[in-house]
Amino acid sequence: MENILHSKIVGEGKPLLILHGFFGMGDNWKSLANKFAEENFEVHLVDQRNHGRSFHSEEFNYNLLVEDLYKYIQHHNLDKIDLLGHSMGGKTVMLFATKYPEVIDKLMVADIAPKIYPPHHQDIIRALNSIDFSIHSTRKLIDAKLSELIPQMGVRQFLLKNTYWIEKGQLAFRFNLKSLTDNYEEIIKSLPVGSVFNGNTLFLRGGNSQYILDEDAPLLNAHFPKYSLATIANAGHWLHAENPKDFYEAVINFIK
């Protein structure tokens, strides 16, 4: 059996696939998925490789993530999908759209541009690698250890959602920390020069986020000539979690 990505599917209707960001998982989008399902969408909350309940692999780059997604779409016989990706997932869906445009109806990219970013997850990666599950045997102890490098409680809570009990008294991370650490350089890469998607594309950015800047407009236009940009007020990089109401309205207006 080929490795098919794990997903949670909610609702019935037109397929809407949602891809999470770095160290995230489909479950992060559960409450929004239920809202989209009410509008006659079949929402697929997909776990990308090395994340959530999907398979682990030493290999990790956007070309592979795109092929994983294509296999998933074929496996489920999906066509004319609406596709939404946040952060790392946004880079996956951007590259996917340039390679498989015929599969996509509308594309949505949440708070990421098709450019290279300077490395900015080092503290998170260091903190996660400092966890020794034989010592840090409860979520409380893990949180205390993470707080040495990650002062933001919201970020720690997000990461702690990835802990689960392998067996009684033994916690572990769902994500493949070693592969994500080893392949970090892949995460921050830009979309390849000359890759273009001519379909309708919506970029969403947090009003308090610096990930998509006004001066990125020519770059967005070069790759996505039919793009529009929505700014979600009172939200940073986690715009779907910080202002779910405005985020939902921007997305539903675009795909409806």
Give me the active site residues, please. Answer: 87, 237
> Could you tell me the two tokens for 155?
């970020």
How many Cα atoms within 13 Å fall on the side-chain side of residue 7? Answer: 25
- Nearest alpha carbon to residue 50 among 70, 32, 64: 64
Residues in contact with 157: Cβ distance below 8 Å, sequence separation at least 6, in sequence order:
none
Q: How far apart are CA 73 and CA 6, in angstroms?
A: 12
What is the rounded distance in angstroms from the CA atom of residue 85 to the CA atom of residue 170? 32
Give the amino acid at 244. P
CB-CB neighbours of 202 under 10 Å: 21
Element (H, E) at 58: none
